[in-house]
Amino acid sequence: MAYLPQQLVLGILIGGLYGLAAAGLSLVFGVMKALNVAHGELIMLGGYAAFWLFALGGVDPFVGLLAVIPGSLLAGAILYWGLFGFVVRLPEEARIKNSLLVGFGLALALHALAVKLWTADERSITTPYTGTIFEIAGLTVPRVPLAGLAVSLLLIGAVHLLLTRWRWGQAIRATAEDWQAAILVGIDVRRAYLLAFALGTGLAGAAGSLVSVGYSVSPSIGLEWTLKALVVVVLAGLGSMPGTFLGGILLGTAEAVSTAFVGGPYREVVGLVIILAILVVRPQGLFGSRA
């Protein structure tokens, strides 16, 4: 078995998940100019939702998405209404720092809540098909992460279509570009913010489901996923869903391939080094449209 190509396959598989995890963060950041550092905790909650649906109701995690995604959308709307809606009322330059405060507070609260409710144990969904593989051209492809990649691609495509074809999707993009001009054409920008935040949370919920079936969830995975998502957002730049997805694949691949050269413990470093290199050459990110 060729080691490097095999690592490449695994990198692409986890990269799709990175892309999905980052898509929601990118959307919220791009539109609201507010950084939701609790994004990873939302992923964690999505993971637990899928886990309990499976453990208590026997719902297959991929079928469970049909409940987790709408639930996350609703949770996002509530979070916006109760929390992040106050942040966007601030002047643009004061938003980032206030969103950090709100986000860190939310992250701590959700983490503590998850420990209290579900203990600090690591949990993952073991379906009958977990761990099954097939082989192509001598490469081993695990089925669950492959299905995860397909779901990620599908969801990113769906959000991309929403943002380009749907009337309110266009309004969200317009608000991201220039919220004052958006008001001038009659867009209720608060509603655009609400929709963007709900969509972002929906994507986080979906990503969480895939994490709990392909990998594992515990109350403390939030920060790790926020950082991964942030790395992808910086890497890919704002403004394009397909770009964010490609950024995720790129990070996953780079991490996996580098494992072959520098060993597993350093894979986190690889992402940061790539960011640094890209920021030097292209400050707007690889696929970013902002000048």
Partner 1 sequence: MLDVRGLTAAYGDLAALTDATLTVAPGEIVALVGPNGAGKSTLLRCLTGLLRPRAGSVAWEGTDVLALPLHAIVQHGLALVPEGRRLFGHMTVEENLGLGAFGPRARAARAASLARVYAMFPVLADRRRQVARSLSGGQQQMLAIGRALMTAPRLLMLDEPSLGLAPRVLEAIFATLVEINRAGLAVLLVEQNVRAALTLAHRAYVLEGGRVSGGGGAAALLDDPHIRRAYLGPLAR
Residues that bind partner 1 (CB under 8 A): 167, 170-171, 173-174, 177-178, 180-189, 239, 289
Q: Least Å distance between CB 289 and partner 1?
A: 5
Q: Kindly report the CA angle at 72 between 67 and 73, in degrees rounded to 5?
A: 105
Q: Looking at beta carbons only, is 29 or 51 nearer to partner 1?
A: 29
Q: Least Å distance between CB 80 and partner 1?
A: 17
Determine the angle formed by the axes of helices 189-214 and 167-177, rounding to 10 degrees.
Answer: 100
Q: Least Å distance between CB 238 and partner 1?
A: 10
- Beta strand 133-136 with 139-142: parallel, antiparallel or unpaired? antiparallel
Task: Give the DSSP H or E segment for 237.
Answer: none
Nearest alpha-carbon partner for 20 in 247, 192, 188, 276: 247
Question: If you search the block for the tokens 């643009």, which residue do you land on?
Answer: 92
Q: Least Å distance between CB 183 and partner 1?
A: 5
Pair 156, 251: CB distance under 8 Å = no
The Cα–Cα gap between 120 and 102 comes to 24
Q: Looking at beta carbons only, is 134 or 166 nearer to partner 1?
A: 166
Q: Least Å distance between CB 239 and partner 1?
A: 6
Q: Looking at beta carbons only, is 113 or 181 nearer to partner 1?
A: 181
Q: Looking at beta carbons only, is 92 or 178 nearer to partner 1?
A: 178
Q: Least Å distance between CB 191 and partner 1?
A: 9
List helix spans (H) across 80-221.
85-87, 92-118, 143-165, 167-177, 179-184, 189-214
Tokens linked to 232: 């992808």
Q: Looking at beta carbons only, is 187 or 278 nearer to partner 1?
A: 187
Q: Looking at beta carbons only, is 171 or 233 nearer to partner 1?
A: 171
